[in-house]
Structures are given as structure tokens and as C-alpha cells.
Amino acid sequence: MKTTRRDFIACGTAFASFPSLAAEVAGGAARLKVGIISDNHMHLARKGNWPVERLRLVLSYFDAAGVDVVVNAGDLADTGQVSELRKVAEIWNECFPDGRGCDGRPVERFFVTGNHDMLKTSASLPDDILQARTKDAFARDPERYWQEIFGEEWEPIRRRTIKGYEFVGVNYGHEAEIEEWFSKNGESLKGKKPFFFVQHLHPKETCFQDGAATDKGVSTKVLAGYPNCFAITGHSHRPLADERAIWQGSFTSMGASTIATLLWPTKCENSYVPVSMRKKVNKHMPVHSSRGAYNGALMTVSDDSMRIERRDFSVGAKVGPDWILPLPLATCPERPFVFAEKGVAPCFAKNAKVKIEETEGKDRMDREERQVVVTVPPANAPDPYSRTIFYNVKAIDADTGKVLKNKRALAEGFHLPFERARSFPGKMVFPKNAFRSAARVKFEVDAENAAGMRCAPIVSEAFKVK
């Protein structure tokens, strides 16, 4: 084994950087340690080189934690280029030379492809760039390039045994083959011992269930027959602070978030809207800011439980308490969001008041407009399971009681470590011309957690529109 870059002292330094993990690893109770990431979106021309630096930092963290395997649920590359995948492999080999951790233990790689890895062209690109990308597209010959880059045989669906645990990975575009594969191979996966299923798209009607993209339902149908399955998927880029990231229905499904750019639930006033849709779906608030956060997880499997640590790697802190799942894995079809259900409705302080301000602003089309800005103090949540995810704001004609507008906004910073997340006020922006039919408007505001539990609303004084 090569040891030119790292030795025992380097390994000790890495552990010292993460003292809580060093203590946990030293406990020795783990049967398996799994580093979990998705959607790193390697790109070789990003300002600040952040795709490279983030992947290097996360893999180094997993090394210090003593992982046995790193799972990546797809979108290793951003534009589907062979050169991007080569860079991913290069960073892996820097962090785990010869497939070894800093203490000499073997560390396995279990990666699957996502939709970005399989991009061939983009019609919106200039011709010269288009030709170069087409020539360098991984999707032209995945069997050849996967073997060249990662030294592994390319298989549409593959199975590996790692420290006595089974891993099944489905490469993007082969989801329709899951049913046939399990009919031939699934019997040996049944039992009380967990096995791990990895693909890019969330199984339909499992984690989040709020517009996050999913597969067409084949995996959900098949895996329903395997209550010992723990599915790890990506694509949605949703934050791990949202307790709906883990679902325990007929099997267990976890969204692995992203170490690139976090994305948000749709249909909120501060949700992202593609430029092509902004004429049709205009918004009046800026897109909710990730504040530089990016997420991954560390899973520790013992004989009687799984412990999943959720991290914001941008600040090196947990985003919430560890998820602890007793083994054998439970199934709760009627109330599958078991950790979201641990929370209670957030609430406003007794003296909380709604603040209303009229100001000049711009909509998402960059058009100037008069705006009415509604803000409230942060809703109190007694624990991270109860954290506020949404603020719901109802605009009511103060004279007739007619509801004029009913909007929802993501709670600023909800995805951050809990103590920081709970410090941001709630906010909503309306265009003033939305209230043309009223002389006076009142605003009713409530706060909502991941389980849909909402607090008693607070109501503003009447705001004079005219």
C-alpha cells in the first residue's frame, strides 16, 4: 500500500479534527460504517473550484470517521463529461489511495449514475462547446469509461457484499429493469438483516412527497416486499434537516441530499422557478438562500440499530439529532414519517406581532413594483423535529372577511443546524396591486413543521391599501 501522502500521524490529525466522531469510532460497536452523499455535480470550471474542494472535504471527513464504504446516489458529473468523472476518481484516489483509509482499513466505493452523468448534449450550447461535450460524453460508452475510470465492470444493476451486508445499485436509466432483477435475485436478500438499495431517483411516494422528483413507481412496488430494505437516493437536493427525508412505510427510504446546491419544496413564494417558466409562474420574493450549506450523512450499523448522523459540511455541524432506527427495520405504512411525527406544532410568543411595511421592490422578472412585506418573529420550536419549515400567510379583506391571497413561504434558514435555524424571522412579500379590490387588508400568519402541524395564527392590524 502506498503511504507517501498519509501515515499514522496524519490519520491521528484527521481524527482530532472531529473529536466527537473519534470517540464514537473508538467505541468499537459498529459492524458497518457508511458515508452517504449524492449529487456532487463535479464541474471543472466553477468559480472557487468548490465542487473539487467539497468532495475532498467530505471524503476526508468520512475517512476520519472510519467508514467502510462510501455511497454516492448519482450525478457524480454535472454535464456528463468523462473529464468530470475522472476528476471524481482522482479525488477518491487522493483520499483513499489503493482503496485504503488513513489507518490502512479497506474502504469500498459504491457509486451509481444519475441523469446528469448520462447527458449527451445540450441544444442551448454554442456549436464548438456542443461538439466538444458530445465527444467527451460518458453516455457514449459507459461500459468502457466506467471500467477505465473506476476500474469496475459496468453493470446496469449490480450487487456487492461489503462486510457481510448486501448493496444493490441501479444505474440511471435502468429503473425499469428492477422488477426482473429482483425476481431472479431478491430471494437471498430477504430476512431481518438490512440490505441497502441505491439509485438516483427517490422511490415514488416515499420521502418528502411534496413535489420532489421520483421514479415511476417500479422500485416502490418491488421493495414493498422487502421490509429489511434501506433505500438511499438523491436527485431532489433536499436538505437533511427536513424530517421527511426519511420514510418508513413498507420499507425504509432516505433522500441523501446533495453536496452541491440545496433545492427546496415547490409551490412556495421563495421556491426556485426556472427562467423558462417565470412568465407563467412569477414570484415576488427572492429564491430561498442555501447560505452555502451542503449535506451528507454518516450511518453506523450495529447488531440492534442504525444511527444516522446528518451534517451540514459547510459549518461542520449536525443539522439535527441523529436518526436512530432499531433493527430489524420497522414498517409504519399508516404514519411513515416517523421522525417528523416526533415533533409538535411550533408556536409564536404571546407578544408576537405581525409587522407590515410598504416598499419598492422587484419581482422575479426584475420588474419594479410596490410591495407589501409581512414579517413575524421566529416561531418557537422546542426541538429540531418541530422546526418551522413553512410560514403560511393569508391576506384578508378587513371589511368583508374575504380571503384575497393565501401564500406559503419557506422559513429562512430552516435547513441549517437547529440553533441557527430557529433565529430567522418569517417573511412574505405581496405585490400591492394584488389588493386592488380592498380598502384595508389584514394578514393572518401561522408556522408549520415537516409533519404539517401548524400553530395558532397571529393576525395583524388592518393595513390601509388606498
pLDDT by position in tens, the chain (length 466): 333 334 333 443 333 444 343 334 333 489 999 999 999 999 998 888 999 999 999 999 999 999 999 999 999 999 999 999 999 999 999 999 999 999 999 999 999 999 999 997 554 555 555 556 677 899 999 999 999 999 999 999 999 999 999 999 999 999 999 999 999 999 999 999 999 999 999 999 999 998 889 999 999 999 999 999 999 999 999 999 999 999 999 999 999 999 999 999 888 999 988 777 777 778 999 999 999 999 999 999 999 999 999 999 999 999 999 999 999 999 999 999 999 999 999 999 999 999 999 999 999 989 999 999 999 999 999 999 999 999 999 999 999 999 999 999 999 999 999 999 999 999 999 999 999 999 999 999 999 999 999 999 999 999 999 7
The answer to whether residue 3 sits within a structural domain is no
The answer to whether residue 39 sits within a structural domain is yes
Please check whether residues 242 and 380 belong to one and the same domain: no
Please check whether residues 73 and 140 belong to one and the same domain: yes
Phi, psi of 96 (to 5 degrees): -130, 70
The answer to whether residue 349 sits within a structural domain is no
Cβ atoms of 292 and 416 within 8 Å: the answer is no
Please check whether residues 144 and 184 belong to one and the same domain: yes
Please check whether residues 127 and 157 belong to one and the same domain: yes
Please check whether residues 397 and 328 belong to one and the same domain: no
The answer to whether residue 375 sits within a structural domain is yes
Question: In CATH, what number is assigned to the domain containing residue 379?
Answer: 2.60.40.4070
Query: CA 89, CA 82: separation in Å to the nearest integer?
Result: 11
Ranges assigned E (strand) in 218-362? 229-233, 246-248, 252-255, 295-301, 305-312, 317-318, 323-326, 355-362
Q: Which pLDDT belongs to residue 129?
A: 56
Please check whether residues 312 and 454 belong to one and the same domain: no
Query: CA 72, CA 56: separation in Å to the nearest integer?
Result: 14
The answer to whether residue 279 sits within a structural domain is no
Q: Which pLDDT belongs to residue 11?
A: 40
Please check whether residues 316 and 428 belong to one and the same domain: no
Q: Which pLDDT belongs to residue 251?
A: 98
Please check whether residues 395 and 318 belong to one and the same domain: no
Please check whether residues 212 and 116 belong to one and the same domain: yes
The answer to whether residue 288 sits within a structural domain is no
Cβ atoms of 363 and 282 within 8 Å: the answer is yes
Query: By CB neighbour count within 10 A (0-12 exposed, 13-18 middle, 19+ buried), where does 406 fall?
Result: exposed
Please check whether residues 323 and 383 belong to one and the same domain: no
Please check whether residues 57 and 149 belong to one and the same domain: yes
Question: In CATH, what number is assigned to the domain containing residue 250?
Answer: 3.60.21.10
Neighbours of 252 (CB within 10 A): 29
Domain span holding position 401:
355-464
Please check whether residues 372 and 450 belong to one and the same domain: yes
Tally of structural domains, the chain: 2
Helices 50-65 and 82-95 sit at what angle, rounded to 10 degrees?
30
